Structure 1
Amino acid sequence: MRLTVGLTTVVAISLLGAGTASAEVREAKIQCLGSNANFHLYPFYLSLVATSSDDRPGTISIQPRGDSNFGPFGYHATVNWTNLDTGESGVVAQDGTIGANMPSFNVDTGWGTVRLTGAVGTSGLSAGQTMQCSGADLYVP
């Protein structure tokens, strides 16, 4: 009986002393920079910022971030992902507007190291050529 009371007290004190831990957030950027078919909007810049968090295992969130002195103008972003640990892969696409609506999107990749590559094209006065973007690796818990 005495051991049980002592153990309960130790557990209660341990729980009281435990604070809330903040989840670790990881980030990787896919950078896109190049000429714009809408010549008056030169240059074209967009980064796709991918994040993973302990709070959302197996999922990454991708937030487009763009910059232009002119706009708004449309874009179409494609992200290819490959989970290097499981071998699974996929493609996701997103349309948005630089200078206005740039919605984020989620991708279920599973846990492990995920390789991300991308391509972006513009739309507007004339549809832009698709340009390849840099790649990045992101650990997904």
Structure 2
Amino acid sequence: NIRIYTNQKILNAINYVFNPQKALKLMDAEMIFELVDLEQVLGHSDKKLRRVKGRLIGDQGKIRQAIEKFSGVNLSIYEKYMGLIGDFEAVKIAKKGINMILQGSPHKTVLAYLHAEYQKKKQLEFTEMWKPTI
């Protein structure tokens, strides 16, 4: 049943990383929830986990905010988990940016990628909005 599946996604989002208000966005059928166990990706080194979480969040949360703004996802990091809520395209863009950070790419490079994807999305929306409806 789709309602059971949706409720399960919402509960998982709340259990791991998101507050209930953000998790309720999953009631929209277009929205997906991705959960990443950072310890599974990075290994069991607390030092490495802290460093990567710091890189993902950035100074005063600026990198996390940029990922959210330019991709259109909600991103939450708590303990060893990272969660993403957004539509398929938004999550795909955010995951690529996050993978770039995990692989050690400079923030400037990641932000340039995210900004370029954001511009493409806005251009496409603009083009669709002004498309003739004949």
TM-score between both structures, scaled by the size of structure 1: 0.29
Greater strand proportion: 1
TM-score between both structures, scaled by the size of structure 2: 0.30
| Structure of higher CA gyration radius | 1
Greater helix proportion: 2
